Structure 1
Amino acid sequence: MSEMRIVVGGALLHRGRVLAARRSAPAETVGRWEFPGGKAEPGETPPQALVRELREELGVEARALERIPGAWPVRAGLELHIWTAELLSGTAAPLQGHSEVRWLSAAELHQVDWLDQDRFALPEVARRLSSAV
């Protein structure tokens, strides 16, 4: 049995909103929304992977804060963990794998069509956004 590989997603929080990114690839996910991120590389911790992925995909510097409870099997050998993160610098732009980004308030979270695997984190993200105001 091979080791489970972690895919890390970032609930990037800034000024009472969270960043959602619309997928531009692969075909089965185009047009749906996610918390941006990607696979942790060998020897990389999930927080390190999240910081790297947010830099590559969105052009921002961020700091991983804490993991949202729960996980979602993406496919065999891959499991999604979502972490909260804070924006340190930069303006988020869809550089890699995305066609659009939006900052959403807790009340706006359900206005986009989230990927199934990201939905488990929405109640906790909403709670954190509501308590941050």
Structure 2
Amino acid sequence: MSEPLKTVLVVAVALIDTDGRVLIAQRPEGKQLAGLWEFPGGKVDPGERPEQALIRELKEELGIDVNEACLAPFVFTSHAYESFHLLMPLYLCRRWSGVVQAHEHSALKWVRPNQLSDYPMPPADEPLVAWLRDLL
């Protein structure tokens, strides 16, 4: 019998601009799943709440400040990769301060919800596209 997969908690956000577009970020070379497009976010550290982790990650990855009150829990995805199981809540955010910049990704794009499926994404992110398309 194989060992059970470790569950990893990762938090992500759909940043939505005033035109109703969603921000996606391209994973950089050298990282697992390089070149694929994802929703910004990252791992939740031990003892950290998901909202705290997301605020920290958005500052590190995009250089923006987000108030916890502006993060709305939306939907989650659960996906078994080969070496771990990913549990990823997705939050919606329409308000932040600062200018979005790629600090850790090779590119950023603002995309209309009905065009998100045109961008190759990691398997865990793909199911989130339909939810966003239906909401927005």
The reply on whether 1:92 has 2:100 as its aligned counterpart is yes
May I ask how many residue pairs the two structures share in their alignment?
Answer: 128
Larger proportion of helix: 1
Decide which of 84, 88, 107 is 1:80's aligned counterpart.
Answer: 88
Decide which of 113, 124, 136 is 1:117's aligned counterpart.
Answer: 124
Letter in 2 for 1:45: R
Paired residues of 1:60 and 1:87 also in contact (CA < 8 A): no
> CA shift at 1:17, angstroms?
1.0
Instruction: Quote the residue 2:112 is aligned against.
Output: 105
Structure 1 residues without counterparts, runs of 5 or longer: none
Name the CA distance, whole Å, in 1 between partners of 2:31 and 2:57.
20
Pick the structure with greater CA Rg: 2
Q: TM-score, normalised by structure 1?
A: 0.83
Q: What aligned pairs does 1:28-107 form with structure 2 within 5 A after superposition?
A: 28-62=32-66, 63-74=70-81, 75-76=83-84, 78-96=86-104, 98-107=105-114
Letter in 2 for 1:99: S
Overall identity of the aligned pairs, in %: 32
Structure 2 residues without counterparts, runs of 5 or longer: none
Instruction: Quote the residue 1:14 is aligned against.
Output: 17
